[in-house]
Amino acid sequence: MNFTSSRRFLLQSLEDLDSSLRKLNSRLFVIRGQPADVFPQLFKEWNINRLTFEYDSEPFGKERDSAIKKLASKAGVEVCVQISHTLYDLDKIIKLNDGQPPLTYKRFQALVSRMDPLEKPMDTLSPKVMGACRTPLWDDHDERYGVPTLEELGFDTEGLSSAVWQGGEMEALTRLDRHLERKAWVANFERPRMNANSLLASPTGLSPYLRFGCLSCRLFYYKLTELYKKVKKNSSPPLSLYGQLLWREFFYTAATNNPKFDRMVGNPICVQMPWDRNPEALAKWAEGRTGYPWIDAIMTQLKQEGWIHHLARHAVACFLTRGDLWISWEEGMKVFDEFLLDADWSVNAGSWMWLSCSSFFQQFFHCYCPVGFGRRTDPNGDYIRRYIPLLRGFPAKYIYDPWNAPEAVQKAARCVVGVDYPKPMLNHAEASRLNIERMKQIYQHLSRYRGLCLLASVPSTGNVGFSSYNTAACTFRGNANRGIAAKEAGGLTRRQETKSVSNMGGQQQEAAVLFSPSPPASKPQGSVITVVDVSTLKRDWTSPFGEDTAFPHNKITKHASDRSAVDN
Amino acid sequence: MKCGDGDTAQQKDLQGLGWCNAVDEGLMVSGINPECPISCCSVIPTSDLTADSACLSREPIPDITLTGAVEPDGGTALLAAPVASHPHPTMSLPKPTTSHPHPAATLPHRATTLLDTAITHLSQQPASPTPALLPVRTLTSQCSRPHAGFSHCIDWGNLAPELVLYIFQFLPLVDRARASQVCHAWTNVFHQPELWRRFEFELSNPATSYLKATHPDLIQQIIKRHSSHLHYVSFKVDSSKESAEAACDILSQLVNCSLKTLGLISTARPSFLDVSKSHFVSALTVVFVNSKSLSSLRIDDTPMDDPSLKVLVANNSDTLKLLKMSSCPHISPAGILCVADQCKGLRELALNYHLLSDDLLLALSTERHVHLEHLRVDVVSEDPTTGEPQIPFRSIRRSSWEALLRHSPSVNLVMYFYLDAEEEFEAFFCDATPVTHLYFGHSVSKAVLGRVGLHCPRLVELVVCANGMQLLDEELICIAQRCRSLTAIGLGECEVSCSAFVQFVRLCGDRLMQLSIMEEVLIPDNHYCSLEDIHPEVSRYLGRPWYPDAMPTW
């Protein structure tokens, strides 16, 4: 089942792209092979003089694309790279921040509000624009250049359930319309309140479409702005309107120059934690056998459908890492990468670091309770019953903690805990107590804070604190040649795994047009937000207004000095 | 006086949290020289440097006056002293190297860079509060040459041992070990007791933990050669029983040492609790009996028991200042009471609520007892899976709290609650409680928070991880009105209306130094229909820009 659902989504998206191109009397060409092998061949075979592709900001993609670009220039092919997977040129954001990626979202927002307004996206390609342009097609196009099937790619499709999320631009645009309709109808642009319904796959969800390039983030941005102005009578939209897009952008920016962004060791922005390695516990978590129905239901939904609500992500991520199991976030990230449709490399790794409090100056005091959080969200427990039918018979009172149900209730529910459904794999109260202490130790050491205040243990936000994660050991692998990249065409962005699915418009016209080299359109930006929380910067971390904890570091110094004061 | 925080340490400190022994490469020094006394070692946690220099500064050098010229920060001011006030006869820094050829005069390049590095480190220290700048200036001024030519004008072989020692304190263990291979003189310095006052043993199994382990050879070296020098020792262990047992085995070999500080730290699961009680207790007893001047002991989550506490008291009652023993299931209220009775110098104590009693508070408040500085109490439910009946929590009498406050007026009382059931809270906050830091790790009811507002006038920090689904408006406002020392608040899964929140902040004003509120906590109401609306007002009351904590939407 590895990666099956995301591959299926990708192939559906390619099919959709192909059918759109057919309407323009063209076709999509999917070339089999490694980009570095096939491109030089094609340059010759097709007599190419121009190659156009989408900029890939991720370290892996940058490396690959720079190789392609070299090959192209060797072959005398002009290369045209456009940024369209992200809203902004990430290097410009970094430059605006004195060469470092911003590590707090607030800082990021402040930078974004100083960026030039985004260009208006291009109109959809029409036959009129195509004019007399023709794509030469071969009779055996389908065999040679058709979109492959899952089987051809070596995936086992037996028993594959039908897709909850249908890939493709058509579907994406339909969803975008619904998404905007609902927003317009609510007329409130705040983040929607969480309820039992929000846990289920929504017909207005867009994240997988953004990830696979079915939906242009700029189009989404532009449509949101348009709608807001219409509803709110031309007042300028707040940055929070674009929350979903900006979070994505934030993580892309943090990752673009950091090849070790997806691991702890050697990653200059990641706090080094002494996580446990525990394959057994990890498997229980990944397979939904923790004995906590809330966690197990979420993991089941993830596997079945490829999407879970972001608060559900918070719940399972917290449970795996700092909340309960004390297992590295890297392990969770890998599981999400495998099953989650919208797991962009940067966003996935970044979110895991965020949720495990491994970076980005997160307060760690709050652990999601694997019982209480679910109960608060969906008091009735319908979500649990949907994904763990075994627990269907439990009354709402016990459905989040079935082990507490009296035996009679368990029997009546025809599900005995410890026999039919696992007992909880650990005692959450105990685990969270220990883990808070661990986090405190780590963060007090990091912030060099000696006081008793738990909240003050986390280094201050803003970019001044950046240095605390990122000091001498900066191990950027010198991706100096930025701005150079090669990429699958067709607006489909996906870093390549072993099988490389590459599509390229048969002629430069088709390929180019998908990247909307558009005329500038002025667009007022959202409200300006002041930058850093200055007061926290003034805090004197070393001032011991009472010492506690972080024992070896602090206590020794204190008592040593006590002692010297007393003895000497 | 506190220790100089070893700003050289800072860089590494920050990148690797010290205790993960941050550096990936260059850990192995074996192979450089077969005679190397340490075949392999982990980089010493950066805090070690701090402690080392602290120890050094305090221990060996008699009649040093703390010159007020430097920061009142003991550490490095004292370090500077030997240079200034005890000029070593051989300290001929300004001399040109030509004077008398020494076997070690032509130093290998790496030694030159070593000193250069040390000096660069020193001069890179962030501006003023860095006392370490002084000695560098002293050196260079005596040298009376520009910095650039410095390394060329030193008779390296005659470098005073004090200087080498001084420089060594700024180097991680791995660099010291490398440097020690340069010549016999440097090897001697390497083994100076001053450099071995502090050690942090890290014990882990790489197969089951990310915690990096101290190399076994280094552990052996220390036991053999430096155990008598150790004063400040901590053990960090991973989740495995084997690591905790290994820690106990090392402890039982520390027979000829005189520890001042001992910390046993579980970095993941509490693995010391897996060690057999007799094994653990006998290992600790070795330390208690041999180190008669233990001043700090941290043994959270261990199988410590009453008899071993008695041994501790019998041997260290005059020196014990800090005792942290949260979640030690084998200790009884009587056991801790014995500590409080005998150890009059005890200033900091951490324990679980079931060990807290009126008698204990009174014992800590007798006239002969020093003022208590910190009291940390963990309130934890019994593990429901053990099947043992829950013993209800007893209330502490108001008069006992008052006695404590009379004796130690500035005591910090830190309470961490990990309770689930509402009934379990019945014993708390029904009467005045002098708590200063309050953390509710799990759900806590509106009613309890209401009582906190009424009965905790000394409250400084309040953290609430979760609450039911009712708005906490009145409770927060009551807390703002009555807890006049409140400077920090954190709210997780709670709900507060925007209006009440703004009023809360208005009442507290800029004394709120920490205000960590999750975005979802703030519920828009008639006055404030979005978070954008409250942010300017809250920022104005706080006197600084403020935003709620956001979580990624993804």
Written as tens digits, the pLDDT of chain B (554 aa) is: 333 333 333 333 323 222 222 222 222 222 223 333 332 233 233 333 333 333 333 333 222 222 222 222 322 222 222 333 333 333 333 333 333 333 333 333 433 334 444 333 433 333 333 333 334 333 433 444 444 445 556 677 778 899 999 999 999 998 999 999 989 999 999 999 999 999 999 999 999 999 999 999 999 999 999 999 999 999 999 999 999 999 999 999 998 888 999 999 999 999 999 999 999 999 999 999 998 899 999 999 999 999 999 999 999 999 999 999 999 999 999 999 999 999 999 999 999 999 999 999 999 999 999 999 999 999 998 765 555 667 789 999 999 999 999 999 999 999 999 987 888 999 999 999 999 999 999 889 999 999 999 999 999 999 999 987 789 999 999 999 999 999 999 999 999 999 999 999 999 999 999 999 998 899 988 898 888 889 899 999 999 999 999 889 87
In a domain, B495, yes or no: yes
Cβ B280 vs Cβ B304: under 8 Å: yes
**What single string gives the DSSP state of each residue in B250-284?**
HHHH-TT---SEEEEEESSS-GGGGS-HHHHHHHH
CA distance B400 to A407: 44
Q: What is the pLDDT of residue B442?
A: 87
CA distance A222 to A239: 13
Taking phi over 0 as left and psi of -120 to 50 as alpha, with beta for the rest, B149 belongs to alpha
For residue B312, give both structure tokens: 């501790």
CA distance A115 to A183: 26
Same domain, B220 and B334: yes
Cβ B462 vs Cβ B487: under 8 Å: no
Residue bearing the bigger pLDDT, A24 or B126: A24
Cβ B314 vs Cβ B329: under 8 Å: no
Cβ A208 vs Cβ A12: under 8 Å: no
In the structure, how many helices (H) and strands (E) does chain A have? 24, 4
Packed helices A243-255 and A217-231: angle between N→C axes, nearest 10 degrees: 150
Cβ-based contacts of B488 with chain A (< 8 Å): 453-456
CB–CB contact A432 B385 (8 Å): no
User: Predicted ipTM?
Assistant: 0.79
Instruction: Count the alpha carbons within 13 Å of B40 in the hemisphere toward its beta carbon.
Output: 8
A244 near B CB under 8 A: yes
The number of folded domains in chain B is 3
Q: What is the pLDDT of residue B76?
A: 27
For residue A333, give both structure tokens: 């990230």
DSSP state at residue B213? P
Cβ B459 vs Cβ B438: under 8 Å: yes
CB–CB contact A565 B1 (8 Å): yes
In a domain, B246, yes or no: yes
Q: What percent of chain A has pLDDT over 90?
A: 64
At residue B207, φ and ψ (nearest 5 deg) are -70, -25
- How many of the other CB atoms lie within 10 Å of CB of A502? 24
**What single string gives the DSSP state of each residue in A235-299?**
PPPPGGGGHHHHHHHHHHHHHTT-TTTT-STT-TTS-----B--HHHHHHHHTT-SS-HHHHHHH
Q: What is the pLDDT of residue A251?
A: 97
CB–CB contact A276 B210 (8 Å): yes
- Best interface-test mutation with B: which of A553, A561, A566 has the largest number of B CBs within 10 A? A553
Nearest-CA distance B454 → chain A (Å) = 21
Same domain, B416 and B294: yes
CB–CB contact A564 B1 (8 Å): yes
In a domain, B347, yes or no: yes
Same domain, B317 and B364: yes
Q: What is the pLDDT of residue A125?
A: 87
Cβ-based contacts of A359 with chain B (< 8 Å): none
Mean pLDDT of A115-120: 92
Same domain, B426 and B490: no
Q: What is the pLDDT of residue A275?
A: 97
CA distance A361 to B212: 24
Same domain, B489 and B403: no
In a domain, B225, yes or no: yes
Domain boundary among B422, B446, B470: B446
Residue bearing the bigger pLDDT, A530 or B423: B423
Kindly report which listed range (A215-224, A258-267, B150-159, B161-170) carries the lowest average pLDDT score. B150-159
Same domain, B50 and B185: yes
Nearest-CA distance A442 → chain B (Å) = 7
Mean pLDDT of A149-159: 88
DSSP-derived 3-state class of residue A100: coil
Q: What is the pLDDT of residue B425?
A: 94
Cβ B58 vs Cβ A568: under 8 Å: yes
> Rg of chain A over CA atoms, in angstroms?
26
Cβ B335 vs Cβ B308: under 8 Å: no
In a domain, B387, yes or no: yes
The residues in B 257-286 lying below 8 A from A, measured between CB atoms, are 260-261, 263, 265-270
DSSP-derived 3-state class of residue B489: strand
Instruction: Count the alpha carbons within 13 Å of A427 in the hemisphere toward its beta carbon.
Output: 15
CA distance B52 to A256: 40
pLDDT at A333 over 70: yes
B125 near A CB under 8 A: no
pLDDT at A540 over 90: no
CA distance A551 to A547: 9
Same domain, B360 and B226: yes
Q: What is the pLDDT of residue B468?
A: 78
Same domain, B155 and B205: no
CA distance to A220, A226, A545, B259, per residue, from B324 (Å): 55, 60, 19, 16
The residues in A 248-267 lying below 8 A from B, measured between CB atoms, are 248, 250-251, 264-266
Mean pLDDT of A385-409: 96
Domain boundary among B406, B426, B446: B446
pLDDT at A482 over 50: no
Mean pLDDT of A184-191: 70
Same domain, B180 and B222: no
For residue B136, give both structure tokens: 């560098």
A236 pLDDT band (50/70/90 cuts)?
confident
Same domain, B212 and B346: yes
Q: Tell me whether residue B387 is exposed, middle or buried, using C-beta atoms within 10 angstroms of its C-beta: 0 to 12, 13 to 18, 19 or more.
A: exposed
Q: What is the pLDDT of residue B62?
A: 28
Model confidence over A339-353: pLDDT tens digits?
Answer: 999 999 999 999 999
Option in A362, A442, A564 nearest B58 (CB): A564
DSSP state at residue A75? T
For residue A403, give both structure tokens: 């082990």
Residue bearing the bigger pLDDT, B478 or A197: B478
The C-alpha angle with vertex B391 and arms to B388 and B397, in degrees rounded to 5, equals 165
The residues in A 71-110 lying below 8 A from B, measured between CB atoms, are 105-106
In a domain, B19, yes or no: no
Q: Which domain holds residue B326?
A: 194-446
Kindly report which listed range (A52-66, A298-312, B4-18) carries the lowest average pLDDT score. B4-18
A538 near B CB under 8 A: no
Same domain, B180 and B226: no
Comparing C-alpha atoms, which of A471, A438, A501 is closest to residue A212?
A: A501
Same domain, B275 and B406: yes
Cβ B384 vs Cβ B357: under 8 Å: no
Helix residue ranges, H only, B303-413? 306-316, 333-342, 358-363, 398-407
A188 pLDDT band (50/70/90 cuts)?
low
**What single string gives the DSSP state of each residue in A418-451?**
TTTBPPPSS-HHHHHHHHHHHHHHHHHHHHT--S
B439 near A CB under 8 A: yes
CB–CB contact B493 A372 (8 Å): yes
CA distance to A557, A558, B40, B145, per residue, from B55 (Å): 9, 11, 24, 32
Q: What is the pLDDT of residue A167?
A: 95
Cβ-based contacts of A328 with chain B (< 8 Å): 210
B382 near A CB under 8 A: no
Q: What CATH number did the domain enclosing B421 receive?
A: 3.80.10.10
In a domain, B150, yes or no: yes
Q: What percent of chain A has pLDDT over 70?
A: 79
b/e per residue B445-474 (b: at least 16 CB within 10 A): ebebbbbbbbbbebbbbbbbbbbbeebbbe
**Which helix (H) or strand (E) element contains residue A185?**
helix A169-186
Show Cβ contacts of residue B402 under 8 Å, excluding neighbours closer than 6 positions. none
pLDDT at A254 over 60: yes
Show Cβ contacts of residue A467 under 8 Å, excluding neighbours closer than 6 positions. B14
CB–CB contact A376 B493 (8 Å): yes
Cβ B243 vs Cβ B199: under 8 Å: no
- Best interface-test mutation with B: which of A559, A566, A567 has the largest number of B CBs within 10 A? A559
At residue B77, φ and ψ (nearest 5 deg) are -60, -45
CB–CB contact B298 A372 (8 Å): no
B128 near A CB under 8 A: no
Comparing C-alpha atoms, which of B126, B169, B123 is closest to residue B146?
A: B123
In a domain, B7, yes or no: no
Cβ A42 vs Cβ A506: under 8 Å: no
What single-letter amino acid sits at A36?
A: A
Domain boundary among B173, B190, B207: B190
In the structure, how many helices (H) and strands (E) does chain B have? 19, 13
> Rg of chain B over CA atoms, in angstroms?
27
CA distance to A24, A105, A296, A311, B497, per residue, from B537 (Å): 55, 21, 42, 28, 15
Q: Is the dihedral of CA A529, A530, A533, A535 positive or negative?
A: negative
Q: What is the mean pLDDT of chain A?
A: 80
